[in-house]
Chains A and B, each alone.
Chain A
Amino acid sequence: MPSTFEIFKAFVLVGASAFGGGGSAHIHHHIVTRRGWLSESEFLEGLSLSQLLPGPIFSNFAAHIGMHLHGAPGAIAAFAGVCLPGMLAILALSGAYFAVREFSSPAVTGALTGVAAGAVGISLATLARVAPPGLKSIGAPLIALAAFIANGVLHLPILWVLLVLLPLGIALNWNVTPDA
């Protein structure tokens, strides 16, 4: 079993190399392929659990793996490791952003507009990737559509949306026996 410090080091590496989302692929490379700390099925089950809980999936998954490998200290090490490189980078970028904005030029404004448009494209691509597996359960397309309209169009508070749709989805899928 890896030590807390080994877990921290491995996840700092994951956190520093995982540019632009797709975090689970990097976790797979460093933790499953290179170090053999998890089996394929442990990896997949951990990933689906991390998607189930609220919060950023990448860091949830890291905490889950850390806990699995070395209890609470492992969870803290993995979570801190995966976040640390990006935290330092975004702090530096935030400082630079508010400094540069004081004397912004048309090129800088244009670059930011372009980057914002690109970021929308990234989130669209991510959505297209996660849509098929998310739409398989009973009533899923309707529940997803209701959540989308309530949240994105009507701007209803998210807690209400959950309080209505979660019991509905559970009721619809109560008698489904998984084949997995």
Chain B
Amino acid sequence: MIRLLLILLIAALFSCEPALEDPYENFIIPAGKHDNGWKMQSLQSKTLSFSAIFDQTAIYETQITENQHDINKLMGFSDCNSNHHENSARFGWRWLEDQLEIHAYAYVNGERKTKLIGAVELDKAYDYQLQLTNDHYVFYLEGYDPVSIERKAPCTRGLYYMLHPYFGGDEKAPHDILIQILTKY
């Protein structure tokens, strides 16, 4: 009986067909919130690779005009055993002048550094890649030249926790914002 059970379980484990559902994970930042809750996940290689799709919900207008320049966060990671406000790298985004801008966004020894990478279309998947080298964070966005920000690695081995979509800046999401992300391994 036990052997039969074992055979059935082994067969079930390796007989799975590819899932038919949408492989993208939906991150919904609810209206009046910065994010949709903390998710425990850590980086597992020197390259974070993913595809992301923004839709019409990424169009917003802030209550205070100058906050429109604030950069929201897409995805990234904290650097070795650091708090993300000390050392981290993320892709950032904002809706400005009728386009969705994508930025390189990093903290290096507590100092915030940003660089504009380019703009993406709504409802279209783009590939993103964030590479960790010994002395730089290198940001790749499909269709644009790579952008790098100097890195001061706090250590060589440790916890690199992942950072997920976050709205703000100072203001919270004015309405529900949907971002679809597919992490690639």
Q: Do A and B come from one complex?
A: no
